Chains A and B, each alone.
Chain A
């Protein structure tokens, strides 16, 4: 149960080793927080992240979870709720970036990225939505991306999965609102993190910490969408309507 100051007691991070996800968890932590659950595929890496969060009065659990096995998501989420009680914030932070244009030519990789980023993520949101709907309170934070706002040739599969996820999250959020559940879609630009290591930064590049600050502000204000940096909202408003021949030539990184 969030307290009167919008501080959550229980936080679940799907993609428990994600830089952005962990930055949001750190931004949310307060003396009120009782439980953080890091749900991830690589539990050894998850334990390292957990060690960095642990302190007096805070339980940090690492739970095995794989975005690529959507059929297991409900059971994992129900198990977390059974163990820790009401869930206040669920953060969906896992995704595969793929390898840019090459992904569009590599059948196996394209299917895997689409499966994890979209099918898996949809299953995770359904699972989280079911738990939060029953308790009739709580928030879901979905890490979308500006890459989904207008999909580029340079990362078409990744961008398309984010476009699909973003759409589903908004629709589900509208439905969940009637049950007192809040959905926040976060659309960062290029974020310097482990996921993008070695890639050249795009314009308006940001950091996991900046994304976390904006996301938590959005949570407290019960916003539906947050862009990071905020200016990107207007940049993409223009880019959406840029003619194709121009769009293709833009130096977007």
Chain B
């Protein structure tokens, strides 16, 4: 078959550029997927999107890895219903370039637009709006899923609901998502209106978010890791909504839906033996970032790219972490467990483990998907260079704080937790496994992460 002659052996890593493994990789169109499964050996098959999960979620050592082709031009927009049907291999970047100028926005975007639609569902991605509108899966109307037996299932919240929800946040382990139909958000302009507030410590952040989040569609706090002692958790809280036409300047009003995000610079694909991101540079960057934020500013108009995807302006920024790479540690703890957030931040500052980017967010209620990460509570995400001395002990210590607080870890970010930690954090794991077994009794779908964490046992 023509497709399989294109198979190439490649070394793959996640966005954190840790634990590289080797797989047979092939790009296929949706109609070629069923045939490609014929090349699967005992190490199974996995679909990889744009490789933005941080750990080993999108790797399949010794197995077959499919990359789905697809273009936003194939997307079918139903303006009357306010929905769109998109091939799973299409990137959010492509899709936004197509829909924003027409006055539509995606219901949820993560912190990067370089994810595929399939990946967004497999991870059930969340964004700054979770407290009001939930994660991506909440907005999906239906999916077409190619199963291990080669048949295609059309699943929806009211049609094979168990398989639908097992696929939302299911890390690509239930089948190949071919295309997805989801609800869009109508927008008047391509700008955001943003209120920014500088907060002196962690208690002030908790209080401000508890009181005010309901008034904003989007809300997230950037925590300054330099803050310690009584300054621990000092933050810049950024909250906003889509700007209305009336909120734009006369100049902006001439082209209210203009959208053309740019990558300002791309780092060369060089392997830096030692990362440029270390305690000194992290502290310097964050000190400046904190100081340059206004004490309080309302109604600032920003572009979508600035508000949502600031890191995308630097292509390949993950290479700054050097040869050893980085981990992003993200967890959620229920409301009432604010002490766990404080304990984690204290551990990080004591351990000299400054994070380049630390983000705190209030989650609203979770959805019915058994493996979906978000649940009601506080989520904290920190980026850490693996080169930090003693990082393994540090992270295992943080795991205990998180699990003791009834929290859990985000599989899409995970590269280091254990099967036991995931089983404890996701009490419905066995239910998910049971659904998975009914559609994949032979274990066709596998990943490095699924083997590491015993998801596909």
Q: Say which residue of A5, A9, A57, A134 sits within 8 Å of B386 (CB atoms).
A: A5
Known contacts A1-B452, A135-B61, A180-B11; is A30 also within 8 Å of B20 by CB?
A: no
Return chain B residues, CB-CB under 8 Å to A86: 61, 451
The residues in A between 16 and 41 inclusive whose CB is less than 8 angstroms from any CB of B are: 30-32, 34
A-B contact pairs, 15 of them (CB 8 A): A1-B61, A4-B56, A4-B415, A5-B391, A5-B395, A30-B392, A32-B396, A34-B419, A86-B61, A134-B42, A136-B43, A137-B21, A137-B61, A180-B11, A180-B22
Give the number of residues in B that approach A within 8 Å (Cβ atoms): 33
B16: chain A residues at CB < 8 Å are 4
Residues of A near B11 (CB, < 8 A) are 180
Neighbouring B residues of A34 by C-beta, 8 Å: 418-419
Which residue numbers of A lie inside 8 Å of B, CB to CB?
1-7, 9, 30-32, 34, 57, 85-86, 134-137, 179-180
Other-chain contact of B415, A3, A85, A134, A135 (Cβ < 8 Å) = A3
A7 contacts B416, CB within 8 Å?
A: yes
B451 touches A85 (CB 8 A): yes
User: In the complex, what residues of B have CB within 8 A of residue A5's CB?
Assistant: 18, 327, 386, 391-392, 395, 415-416
Q: Would you call B62 and A4 a contact (CB within 8 A)?
A: no
The answer to whether A31 touches B418, judged by C-beta atoms less than 8 angstroms apart, is yes
- For residue B265, give the distance in angstroms from its CB to the closest CB of chain A: 27
> What would 7 more interface pairs be, CB under 8 Å, given A4-B327, A5-B386, A180-B61?
A1-B56, A3-B19, A5-B415, A32-B418, A134-B42, A136-B61, A136-B62
**B270: CB under 8 A from chain A?**
no
| Chain B residue with Cβ nearest A134 | B62
A31 to B62, CA, bound (A): 26
Which chain B residues lie closer than 8 Å to A4 at the CB level? 14, 16, 18-19, 55-56, 325, 327, 386, 415-416
Q: Which of A3, A31, A34, A135 has the most CB of B within 10 A?
A: A3
Contact present for B452 and A3 (CB under 8 Å): yes
Chain B 14-43, CB within 8 Å of chain A: the 1/0 string? 101011111100000000000000000011
Indicate if B420 sits at the interface (CB-CB under 8 A).
Answer: yes
Closest to A32 in B: B418
CA distance A31 to B421 in the complex (A): 10
Chain B residue contacts of A9, Cβ below 8 A: 452
Task: Closest B residue to A4 by CB, please name it.
Answer: B415
In the complex formed, the residue of A with least CB distance to B420 is A57
Are the CB atoms of A32 and B416 closer together than 8 Å?
yes
* Neighbouring A residues of B62 by C-beta, 8 Å: 134-137
> Is the pair A136, B22 in contact by a Cβ cutoff of 8 Å?
yes
Please determine whether B452 and A179 come into contact, CB atoms closer than 8 angstroms. no
Q: How far is the CA of A86 from the CA of B42 in the complex (A)?
A: 12
Measured between C-beta atoms, what is the minimum distance from B62 to chain A in Å? 4
CB contacts (< 8 Å) of B312 on chain A: these are: none
Distance between A183 CB and nearest chain B CB, rounded to angstroms:
15
Closest residue of chain A to B13, judged by CB?
A4
**Contact of B224 with A by CB under 8 A:** no
Residues of B within 8 A of A32 (CB): 392, 396, 416, 418
Chain A residues with CB below 8 A from B392, complex form: 5, 7, 30, 32
Give the docked Cα–Cα distance between A179 and B63 (Å): 12
Residues of chain A with a CB closer than 8 A to B61's CB? 1, 86, 135-137, 180
Residue B124 is within 8 A (CB to CB) of chain A in the complex: no
A102 CB, nearest partner CB in chain B, Å: 46
Shortest beta-carbon distance from B372 to chain A in Å: 22
Q: Known interface pairs A135-B61, A136-B61. Does A2 touch B22 (Cβ–Cβ under 8 Å)? A: no
Partner of A180, one of B20, B386, B391: B20
Say whether B452 contacts A136, CB under 8 Å. no
